[in-house]
Structure 1
Amino acid sequence: MLKTGTIKQVDVFSCSPEEFYEAFLDSKKHSEFTGYKATGNAGKVNGRFFTNDVYSFGKTIKLTKNKLIVQEWTTTEWPEDYPPSIIKIALKKKGNATELTFIQTKVPLSQIKNYEGGWKTYYWAKMKKYFKKK
């Protein structure tokens, strides 16, 4: 049996849920905030996407406009015998900000610490800088 775990992170961003949702799903904006090329059609259910110069990739499973993003997600470092993980991004308006609840399931146990830090460094910190400039 494949050993997997779950990552859960909660953070707050100085933007509206609409702005976060659009920045995460739009390839051009995604590329702007990460500094790495993003391509594909993440903004559509069943849309395939590639991010971080093709390091991470997957397929969008479910979208609830400005509230929820659910995607299959994997990377070039993913162990061969493991299925993709599932990321769930829930967005909630908090005053003039947005609260993010991020859950990633089916993460290979050997890679949990790497991806926990990766989301914080390569996504949440960069998104905070991106929204601060706006």
Structure 2
Amino acid sequence: MPQTIQQSVTLPATPARLFAMYLDPKLHAAITGALVTISPEPGSPFHAFDGALSGTMLYTVPQRLIVQTWRSTHWNNDDLDSILVLTFWPAGEVGRIDLVHVNVADHDVPGVTEGWEKYYWKPWRQYLQSH
């Protein structure tokens, strides 16, 4: 049965900058170390990590909200696409990202949960500290 992952992370940048970085293909790639196709336009494709992740942009609210479908090549054909919701908030002098990842394939929940820290939060933090 699909599951939901919830995480919150604070990073040393404003929410507006974090939002813009996620949606900028060059900066997103600089953070993750892998090419990405991404755009804020509803219906636009999302591909990351050499196609290991794919989806469609569903909705954005500038500087505040990103909603996209999302799936991994590790998932079975009959697994549902998941829905990723990222919200961006001020947290003192830093920004906070709240993540809700719905319909994650149950057999990949540990991998996706750990993957957010390993492939996004940790390298993003390192990128911000060096730039």
Q: Would you call these one fold, judging by a TM-score over 0.5?
A: yes
Tell me the TM-score normalized by structure 1.
0.93
1:1-134 residue pairs with structure 2 within 5 A? Answer: 3-39=1-37, 41-134=38-131
SS at match of 1:89: strand
For 2:42 and 2:124, locate their aligned partners in 1 and report how far apart those are by CA, in whole Å.
23
Q: Secondary structure at the match of 1:124?
A: helix
**Amino acid corresponding to residue 119 of structure 1 in structure 2:** W
Instruction: Give the superposition deviation at 1:14.
Output: 0.4
In structure 1, C-alpha distance between the alignment counterparts of 2:39 and 2:76, rounded to whole Å: 23
Q: Secondary structure at the match of 1:74?
A: strand
| d(CA) in 1 for partners of 2:9, 2:76 | 28
Shift of 1:51: 0.7
Which ranges of structure 1 fall in alignment gaps of 5 or more residues? none
**CA offset digits 1:83-130 (Å, max 9, x no partner):** 210000011011221111101000111110110000110001111111
Quote the RMSD (CA, aligned, Å). Answer: 1.0
Counterpart residue identity of residue 8, structure 1: Q
TM-score (norm 2): 0.96
State percent identity of aligned pairs: 24
Q: Shift of residue 42 of structure 1?
A: 2.6
Size of the aligned set, in residue pairs, is 131
Moved over 6 A (4+): none
Give, as a single letter, the amino acid of the residue that structure 2 aligns with 1:5. Q
